[in-house]
């Protein structure tokens, strides 16, 4: 029989509080891969984004950089079981695990918890297009669907589409098996994933957690997910803050991903790991935007985040979506201490990965004791000095909001 | 006076409201009456044509207003219906719940009916290009919202007045159990004194059925639909795709007692473990499932001798039932042959994202009613799986504690331990 844990001292508080620190960062975007590449490019004043304006015209996107999948997904068989979205997420997760010195360490991987923010994987565009084309000349569309799907779908493609199979592939490829949870719901899923992971560590439910997400925009269905509400920006590319009034809805998407290793401070120290930064309060909300609550909600979240006094570098995940971005800009205008940097100007909008990406960039600035130059000189203002705290924001393009405060370790 | 804190000093979590919808009907009463009389809800598919399909039966919920309106509307209605029943039973304000929402629901995609109608509303160009052009001219958000992964929870949050950013999650066929686990953990951390956990799945579309069929996961015993789901039987040949929902109102025991609520059961512990073996198959030694069961027992502060009944995952696939037997016999040892273990899926099929929540609801009712629902269609026992599956007929029995298993594609293993009474 297994031993049952003894009851604790009743005088002790039920859940002791632990600091949450960031010990691993994995990043991929059109700018490249890894913290160094991103730091180098994002701190180059006037750096120009990598754009692809032809392939999905009239939409511009920020494409994936060249990636050697073998570096993080050793088995070709594993690579073949995934489409690009899962491969990308598994790859970025591997970068974070490597960075934290966890990859390949059985003891640490089998006790590690995981929260992945995910949408869905890629459909077979050719099969869909053929069915749609045939639907023009047939009235028995339901029968058509059965006929085509039963004969033309690749059986294992289903697994490449399932939301929780990004986490499943991370377990298979990187052996992270303590637990596996997948949150869905666009930027909000990324916020909740980080918030839940941090809360688990603070309360002692977890010692180390892999958390993050990835988005692969180079697929028509991924664009359709925005465009059914007219959210995509059309016409010439502009920085995030300058898309109001331009053709389309303001969002320019990008492929990429961000994973973080969050860890209990004592746990990180006991294994002698480098700590990038501490993750302070993470707060989230759900404004009922149709009732005009967004501005008030952002203001309330800023209060809850217990911001330090003085100038505060703020890594914004603003999407460019007109209404949400205007509300976020209004919040910055009302809080002149916040020096915003909207990174999606340079990476594009990576949906579920937005908030983990923002937290990663905030942690890098704290760690390297320097801010980022303005990404858009017409709106963003300079920030001088070494930031000891950096705020990360994610105001969803359609719904859900969150903030997190990253502090010097 | 009951203890208000558990063996780890955490607030004890009680259940004060339960709601359920399956192919057997709406609400606990209808479901329980059917379940304990051994009635199956599996029936021929009528929602779409079955030409070219190898599987032509399911446990779809065909009697709700949204049943023919697509996966998102039906999933919402299933979730709302179960949640309304649970919140009402708990005696809480169903428009101002005041705690967080955890929703297990299927991943969403643009429905084929919408895809066809968008595509055929125009003639210019073709394929994705045409869809995108038509999409950006849409004047209302109805179709868009069916493709947003957070929209169902957003609507539920409005409807029930839940607090904060709702969490929508997927752990495949373990999702419903994970939704409950997240609610339990939030209360244990002291973040809230109540939470609404829902598992809902109305995604039994033709494409979903074909996808599972292509993976050889579904039963093809079409001729007598109610006989198709036969967990632990020798001739089991796959699960039966189904829909449903389960909702629990979770509350700290302290808060529930303070407001005089009826305690319907206690969530004693949750355990999970991911499997790194294969995308759809379990590690041959069942070690992840074994670890998940043991983690749930340890979290509950209970030994394996203290579990009276197992509500099995019991999908009726050759692989699951074999693996589940191996894991349970490893954990429970010789006792396994004499402890009751039944599968609700023999009657309701596999409700996928909802299954863990639906089966937690039935587990709680099993304890309250002192009746164990049977595993039906147990006519041809698998000699390699020696279990007391409560064959074919309900059994009256005092049940003080239940282990409920949920296992899913992607290496998901989540187990819940529930008890009838506080310690």
Residues of chain B with Cβ-Cβ distance to A251 below 8 Å are: none
Q: Which fold has domain B13-108+148-419?
A: Peroxisomal Thiolase; Chain A, domain 1 (3.40.47)
The average pLDDT across B96-119 equals: 97
Residue whose pair of structure tokens reads 């949050």 in the numeric block: B157
Q: Is the pLDDT reported for residue A198 higher than 60? A: yes
CB B331 within 8 A of CB B310: no
Contacts of B275 (CB under 8 A, 6+ apart): A171, A177, B282, B283, B288, B289, B411, B412, B413
Q: Is the pLDDT reported for residue B299 higher than 60? A: yes
* Nearest-CA distance B301 → chain A (Å): 6
* Cα–Cα separations (whole angstroms), residue B341 to A21, B311, B385, B402: 44, 6, 12, 10
Which residue in the list B192, B270, B350, B415 is annotated as catalytic?
B350
Which residue in the list B270, B313, B325, B415 is annotated as catalytic?
B313
Confidence of residue A196 (pLDDT cuts 50, 70, 90): very high
The correct answer on CATH 3.40.47.10 for the domain covering A281-407 is: yes
Residues of chain A with Cβ-Cβ distance to B46 below 8 Å are: none
pLDDT in tens, A170-185: 999 999 999 999 999 9
Could you tell me what percent of chain B has a pLDDT over 90? 99
pLDDT at A6: 39
Q: Is the pLDDT reported for residue A10 higher than 80? A: no
Residue A177 has its nearest CB partner, among B112, B150, B274, at B274
The correct answer on CATH 3.30.70.120 for the domain covering A20-125+155-270 is: no
CB B399 within 8 A of CB B265: no
User: How many angstroms separate the CA atoms of B142 and B137, rounded?
Assistant: 13
Would you call B164 and A285 a contact, using CB atoms and an 8 Å cutoff?
A: yes
Determine the residue among A58, A131, A286 to mutate to test chain B binding: the one whose Cβ has the most chain B Cβ atoms within 10 Å: A286
Domain boundaries, chain B: 13-108+148-419, 115-144
pLDDT in tens, B280-290: 999 999 999 99
pLDDT at A15: 53
pLDDT in tens, A275-312: 999 999 999 999 999 999 999 999 999 999 999 999 99
Q: Is the pLDDT reported for residue A333 higher than 50? A: yes
pLDDT at A185: 97
Residues of chain B with Cβ-Cβ distance to A150 below 8 Å are: 52-54, 210, 213-214
| CB-based contact, B215 to chain A, within 8 Å | yes
Domain boundaries, chain A: 20-125+155-270, 281-407
Q: Is the pLDDT reported for residue B158 higher than 50? A: yes
| CB-based contact, B95 to chain A, within 8 Å | no
The average pLDDT across B375-381 equals: 98
pLDDT at A3: 39
The average pLDDT across A379-394 equals: 97
Confidence of residue A4 (pLDDT cuts 50, 70, 90): very low
ipTM score of complex: 0.98
pLDDT at B389: 98
User: How many angstroms separate the CA atoms of A53 and A59, rounded?
Assistant: 6
End-to-end CA distance of chain B: 10
Determine the residue among A181, A194, A290, A395 to mutate to test chain B binding: the one whose Cβ has the most chain B Cβ atoms within 10 Å: A181
pLDDT at A13: 43
Mean pLDDT over the full length of chain B? 97
Which residue in chain A is spatially nearest to B150 when comparing CA positions?
A: A185
Residue A168 has its nearest CB partner, among B120, B302, B409, at B409
Would you call A150 and B165 a contact, using CB atoms and an 8 Å cutoff?
A: no
Q: Is the pLDDT reported for residue B356 higher than 90? A: yes
- A to B CB pairs, distance under 8 Å: 282
Residues of chain B with Cβ-Cβ distance to A123 below 8 Å are: 109
Q: What is the DSSP string of A270-339?
A: HTT----EEEEEEEEE---GGGT-HHHHHHHHHHHTTPPSS-EEEEE-----HHHHHHHHHHHHH-TTEE
Q: Minimal CA–CA distance to B176: which of B346, B421, B416?
A: B416
pLDDT at B1: 62
Which residue in the list B173, B192, B270, B415 is annotated as catalytic?
B173
pLDDT at B44: 98
pLDDT at B2: 76
Does the annotation count B221 as an active-site position?
no
Beta-bridge partners for A261? A24, A210
Could you tell me what percent of chain B has a pLDDT over 70? 100
| Burial profile B289-322: b = 16 or more Cβ within 10 angstroms, e = fewer | bbbbbbbbbbbbbbebebbbbbbbbbbbbeebbb
Confidence of residue A16 (pLDDT cuts 50, 70, 90): low
Does the annotation count B313 as an active-site position?
yes
Q: Is the pLDDT reported for residue A12 higher than 60? A: no
Would you state the structure tokens that stand for residue A314, as one six-digit string?
């703020």
Q: How many CA atoms lie within 13 A of A99 on its CB side?
A: 27
Q: Is the pLDDT reported for residue A80 higher than 60? A: yes
């Amino acid at each position: 029989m297994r031993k049952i844990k003894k009851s604790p001292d009743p005088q002790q508080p039920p859940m002791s509080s632990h600091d949450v620190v960031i010990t691993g960062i994995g990043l991929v975007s059109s700018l490249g891969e890894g913290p160094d590449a991103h730091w180098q490019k994002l701190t180059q004043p006037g750096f120009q984004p990598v754009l692809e304006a032809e392939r999905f015209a009239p939409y511009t996107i920020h494409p994936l950089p060249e990636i050697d999948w073998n570096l993080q997904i050793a088995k070709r068989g594993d690579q073949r079981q995934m489409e690009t979205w899962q491969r990308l997420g598994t790859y970025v997760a591997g970068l974070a695990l490597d960075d934290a010195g966890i990859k390949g360490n059985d003891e640490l991987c089998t006790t590690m918890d995981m929260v992945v923010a995910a949408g869905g994987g890629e459909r077979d565009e050719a099969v869909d297009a053929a069915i749609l084309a045939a639907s023009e000349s047939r009235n028995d569309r339901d029968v058509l669907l059965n006929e085509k799907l039963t004969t033309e779908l690749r059986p294992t493609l289903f697994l490449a589409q399932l939301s929780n199979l990004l986490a499943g592939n991370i377990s298979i490829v990187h052996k992270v098996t303590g637990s596996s949870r997948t949150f869905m719901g666009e930027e909000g899923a990324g916020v909740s994933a980080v918030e839940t992971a941090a809360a688990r560590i603070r309360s002692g439910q977890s010692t180390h957690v892999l958390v993050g997400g990835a988005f692969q925009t180079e697929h028509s269905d991924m664009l359709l997910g925005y465009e059914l509400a007219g959210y995509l920006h059309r016409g010439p590319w502009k920085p995030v803050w300058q898309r109001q009034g331009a053709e389309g809805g303001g969002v320019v998407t990008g492929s990429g991903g961000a994973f973080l290793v969050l860890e209990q401070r004592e746990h990180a120290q006991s294994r002698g790991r480098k700590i990038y930064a501490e993750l302070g309060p993470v707060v989230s909300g759900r404004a009922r935007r149709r009732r005009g609550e967004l501005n008030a909600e952002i203001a309330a979240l800023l209060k809850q985040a217990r911001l330090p006094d003085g100038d505060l570098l703020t890594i914004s995940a603003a999407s460019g979506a007109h209404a949400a971005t205007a509300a976020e800009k209004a919040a910055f205008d009302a809080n002149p201490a916040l020096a915003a940097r909207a990174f999606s100007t340079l990476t594009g909008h990576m949906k579920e990965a937005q908030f983990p990406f923002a937290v990663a960039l905030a942690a890098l600035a704290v760690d390297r004791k320097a801010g980022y130059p303005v990404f858009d000189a017409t709106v963003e203002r300079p920030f001088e000095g070494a930031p000891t705290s950096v705020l990360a924001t994610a105001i969803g393009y359609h719904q859900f909001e969150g903030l997190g405060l990253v502090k010097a370790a | 006076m009951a203890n208000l804190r558990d063996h780890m000093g955490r607030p004890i979590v009680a259940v004060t409201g339960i709601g359920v919808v399956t192919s057997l009907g709406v609400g606990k009463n209808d479901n329980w009456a059917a379940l304990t009389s051994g009635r199956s809800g599996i029936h021929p598919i009528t929602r779409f044509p079955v030409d070219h399909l190898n599987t032509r039966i399911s446990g779809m919920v065909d009697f709700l207003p949204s049943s023919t309106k697509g996966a998102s509307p039906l999933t919402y209605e299933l979730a709302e219906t179960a949640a309304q029943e649970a919140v009402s039973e708990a005696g809480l304000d169903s428009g101002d719940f005041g705690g967080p929402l955890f929703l297990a629901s299927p991943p969403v995609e643009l429905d084929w009916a919408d895809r066809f109608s968008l595509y055929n509303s125009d003639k210019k160009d073709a394929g994705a290009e045409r869809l995108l052009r038509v999409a950006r001219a849409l004047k209302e958000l109805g179709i868009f919202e069916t493709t947003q992964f957070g929209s169902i929870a957003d609507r539920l949050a409005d409807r029930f007045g839940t607090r904060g950013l709702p969490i929508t999650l997927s752990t495949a066929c373990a999702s419903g159990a994970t939704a409950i686990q997240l609610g339990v953990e939030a209360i244990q951390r002291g973040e809230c004194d109540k939470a609404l956990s829902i598992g809902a799945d109305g995604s039994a579309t033709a494409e979903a059925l074909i996808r599972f069929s292509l993976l050889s996961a579904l039963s093809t015993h079409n001729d007598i639909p109610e006989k198709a789901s036969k967990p632990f039987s020798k001739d089991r040949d796959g699960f039966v795709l189904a829909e449903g929902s389960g909702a629990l109102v979770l509350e700290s025991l302290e808060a529930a007692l303070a407001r005089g609520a009826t305690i319907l059961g206690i969530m004693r512990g949750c355990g999970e473990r991911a499997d790194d073996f294969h995308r759809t198959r379990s590690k041959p030694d069942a070690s992840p499932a074994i670890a998940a069961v043991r983690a749930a027992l340890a979290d509950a502060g209970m030994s394996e001798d203290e579990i009276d009944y197992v509500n099995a995952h019991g999908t009726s696939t050759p692989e699951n039932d074999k693996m589940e037997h191996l894991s349970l016999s490893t954990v429970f040892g010789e006792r396994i042959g004499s402890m009751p273990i039944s599968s609700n899926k023999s009657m309701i099929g596999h409700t996928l994202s909802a299954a863990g929540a639906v089966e937690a609801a039935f587990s709680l009712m099993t304890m309250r009613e002192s009746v164990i629902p049977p595993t039906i269609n147990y006519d041809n026992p698998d000699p390699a799986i020696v279990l007391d599956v409560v064959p074919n007929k309900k059994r009256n029995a005092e049940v003080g504690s239940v282990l409920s298993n949920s296992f899913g594609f992607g290496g998901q293993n989540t187990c819940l331990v529930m008890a009838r009474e506080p310690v």
